[in-house]
Amino acid sequence: MINIAEPQIGVEEIQKVTEVLKSKILAQGEFVYQFETSFAKFLDIEFAAAVSSGTAALHAIMAALPIYPGDKVLTTPFSFVASSNAVLYCGAVPVFVDIDPNTYNISPAALEEAIKKHPDAKAVLVVHIFGLPSDMDDICYLTKKNKLYLIEDCAQAHGALYKGRKVGTFGEAAAFSFYSTKNITSGEGGMVVTSSPEINRKVRMFINHGQSKKYQHDILGYNYRMSNIHAAIGIEQLKKLGEFNQKRILNAQYYYKNIKNKKVVLPYTPKESTHVYHQFVLQTENRKKFIKHLHENGVGSAVHYPEIIPRQKLYRDRFNYREKWPAAEKLCRRCVSIPVHQGLTEQQFRYIVKVVNSYA
C-alpha cells in the first residue's frame, strides 16, 4: 500500500535527537531557541515562539490578541477542527463563511457579506488549506478596512507563497504545525510567528503558565512549551523544507500533466500562488467507489474532510447555526486526497496516475 502520508526522517534528525538525549537537557533549552531563530529567519519575521502543537499555537494567538468570551471570529467551515476549536477555547464564537469552490479557501466575496452581517466581529482566521494560500489581497483589504485582526492558520502551508510572499507574514500572527504528517515535522509541535513585540510577549507568557519571571505568574497560562527533543527534529526538518516542497510540487505537476480521467476533478492553483501540496485533493461524484478502486490497487487515500466543522456534534450542540455553506458541503461529499508527499518514488507516482486513470 502506498501511504497517504509518511514523515521523512534521516540520519540528521537521529543524530540531533541523540545529541539532545546525551546533553540531558530534554525540556525547553538551546535547541528550542535555535529552532525559533531559524524559523523566524526562514519567514523573515521578527518573532517565532515554539509550542507543543499547532493547536496550542492557535490558542496562544487568540489569547494574546486578545479574543474575549463572546467575540466573533470569522473563519472557514472547511478545515481541520483545530482551527475553529481555538476560537472555542477562548469562549468566543466562530462565524463560518463559505469557501470558494475553486481554491477551497474562504471566499472573499462571502467574507465581505459576513462582515456586513456581523459588524461587531473581532477577527478573521484564514486557513491556507492543503497548502494553497488564501486570497490575501482581498482578505487583507477587508480586514484593514474593517479593523479586524487577521490570523493565519499555516498548519498545512509551510513555505507557500502568495505573490511571492510567504504565508504567515500577512496578519497579526500565524500558527504553524509540525505534526507528523505535515510538510515538515517535529513529531508533535507548533510555532507562533508575529512581527508584534506585544503579541510575542503575551504568547510567551501564555505558553509558560503565565510567567513573566520565574515563579511570577501574571495571567492564567498553560504548559504549551516545546521540548528540546522535538525542536531537534524540527531544526533538521526545516533545513529540508525547500527540498520537500519542491518534491511535492514536482509530484503534483506530474499529476496535472498525466491524470486524464473525466471522472475526477484536479485541484486548482491560481497563477499568483505557490501551492505546497500538503494534500493533493481530487473531487469525484462516487467517492466510495473511487476509494475502493484505489484501495484494491494498493493506493492509500484519505478524506479531508468528510464533514464541515459547524455540522460536527460539538458545534451543533453549542450553536444554532441557520446558515448554509453550500460550496464547503459539496466539497465534503466529493473530496479525496491521493498521496503527493515527498517520500514517493518515481515508480510510485507513475503507478498512482495509472491507477487513477484506470478508474471507470
Contact residues: ligand PLP, CB under 6 A: 53-55, 79-80, 82-83, 127, 153, 155-156, 177, 179, 190
Q: What gap in Å lies between CA 208 and CA 51, rounded to an integer?
A: 10
Between the CA of residue 40 and those of 60, 151, 268, what are the distances in Å? 17, 17, 30
CA angle 130, 204, 95 (to 5 degrees): 45
Minimum distance between the CB of residue 80 and ligand PLP, rounded to whole angstroms?
Answer: 4
Minimum distance between the CB of residue 145 and ligand PLP, rounded to whole angstroms?
Answer: 26
Nearer to ligand PLP, 53 or 245 (CB): 53
Closest residue to ligand PLP: CB criterion: 54
Minimum distance between the CB of residue 28 and ligand PLP, rounded to whole angstroms?
Answer: 18
- Residue 44 one-letter amino acid: D
Residue 194 and residue 173 in contact, taking contact as beta carbons nearer than 8 Å? yes
Nearer to ligand PLP, 54 or 267 (CB): 54
Nearer to ligand PLP, 127 or 352 (CB): 127
Name the helix (H) or strand (E) containing 212.
strand 211-213
Three-state DSSP class for 340?
coil
Residue whose C-alpha is closest to residue 224's, from 238, 241, 211, 239: 211
Minimum distance between the CB of residue 183 and ligand PLP, rounded to whole angstroms?
Answer: 10
Q: What gap in Å lies between CA 185 and CA 183, rounded to an integer?
A: 7
Nearer to ligand PLP, 93 or 184 (CB): 184
Nearer to ligand PLP, 134 or 356 (CB): 134
Minimum distance between the CB of residue 101 and ligand PLP, rounded to whole angstroms?
Answer: 19
Minimum distance between the CB of residue 62 and ligand PLP, rounded to whole angstroms?
Answer: 13
Minimum distance between the CB of residue 83 and ligand PLP, rounded to whole angstroms?
Answer: 5
CA angle 165, 177, 224 (to 5 degrees): 125
Write out the DSSP string of 88-111: HHTT-EEEE-PBPTTT-SBPHHHH
For the range 8-14, what are the long-range contacts, defined as Cβ-Cβ under 8 Å and sequence gap of 24 or more?
8/240, 8/244, 8/341, 8/342, 8/343, 9/233, 10/236, 10/240, 12/236, 12/239, 13/232, 13/233, 13/236, 13/237
Minimum distance between the CB of residue 53 and ligand PLP, rounded to whole angstroms?
Answer: 3
Nearer to ligand PLP, 60 or 344 (CB): 60
Backbone angles phi, psi at 219, to 5 degrees: -135, 170
Buried b (16+ CB within 10 A) or exposed e, 42-63: bbebebbbbbbbbbbbbbbbbb
Nearer to ligand PLP, 76 or 293 (CB): 76
Minimum distance between the CB of residue 233 and ligand PLP, rounded to whole angstroms?
Answer: 13
Residue 282 and residue 301 in contact, taking contact as beta carbons nearer than 8 Å? no
Nearer to ligand PLP, 52 or 194 (CB): 52
Nearer to ligand PLP, 79 or 194 (CB): 79
